[in-house]
Amino acid sequence: MRKNTKCINIFEKNKRDWNLYQVSTLIILLITLLQVSINVIKYTQLTDYISKHKLENISQQEEVNKNLSEGNQNLDTQKCNINLSELEEICSIIGMNKIKSISSNSNKIEIQGICNNTKILEKLSNQKNVKNFNIKSLQKEEKHYLFTIEYKVGGLN
């Protein structure tokens, strides 16, 4: 069971030296070589570009981290300016369960909460550690008052 097959031998001596198969093979090899060299050039350019921009991004990221850490240090020092025992006195006068929120900015404190009468707010304004006491809002509900107060910590009125 042998089939008669013909194989084309492009390097056969009895054919012409530069036949069509040889020329097409050389053209394919040249095109492949050209494509490989273009890809190598593009790869080197890309790696150079990436390495330069990595250095720039790293330096920018370090600056951002440095600025954030400086900002955090400033926030920490602001937090230290508020004495928690002074805030605890105010909270004990109002009552911890009646306070809705407490916010602070530097040494200015804002408290939102509920009270049964306005005499509690008068007590707060007369504390020795409270200065620039300000009632931002006061609303009468059925049995209690909703209030928002703002004051600075430290010193007499």
Mean pLDDT of 16-38: 85
What's the rounded Cα separation, in Å, for the pair 50 and 23?
Answer: 41
In sequence order, which residues have a C-beta less than 8 Å from that of residue 93 and are 6 or more positions away? Answer: 120, 123, 124, 127
| Owning domain of residue 76 | 1-81
What's the rounded Cα separation, in Å, for the pair 38 and 50?
Answer: 18
Of 37 and 156, more confident: 37
Mean pLDDT of 106-123: 83
Q: Is 63 found in the same domain as 102?
A: no
Residue pair 122/141 in contact (Cβ under 8 Å)? The answer is no
Q: Is 120 found in the same domain as 50?
A: no
| pLDDT band with cut points at 50, 70 and 90 for residue 49 | confident
pLDDT of residue 27: 93
Q: Is 90 found in the same domain as 53?
A: no
Residue 12, by phi and psi: left (phi above 0), alpha (psi -120 to 50) or beta? Answer: beta
Q: Is 72 found in the same domain as 40?
A: yes
Q: What is the model's pTM?
A: 0.46
Q: Which of 100, 121, 123, 102 is nearest to 111 (CA)?
A: 102
Could you give the number of structural domains in the chain? 2
Q: Is 53 found in the same domain as 12?
A: yes
Handedness of CA 71, 72, 78, 81 (dihedral sign): negative
- Torsions phi, psi for 75 (to 5 deg): -65, -40
Q: Is 40 found in the same domain as 100?
A: no
Q: Is 89 found in the same domain as 31?
A: no
Domain boundary among 29, 60, 81: 81
Q: Is 77 found in the same domain as 89?
A: no
Share of the chain above pLDDT 70, in %: 70
| pLDDT band with cut points at 50, 70 and 90 for residue 67 | low
Q: Is 94 found in the same domain as 73?
A: no
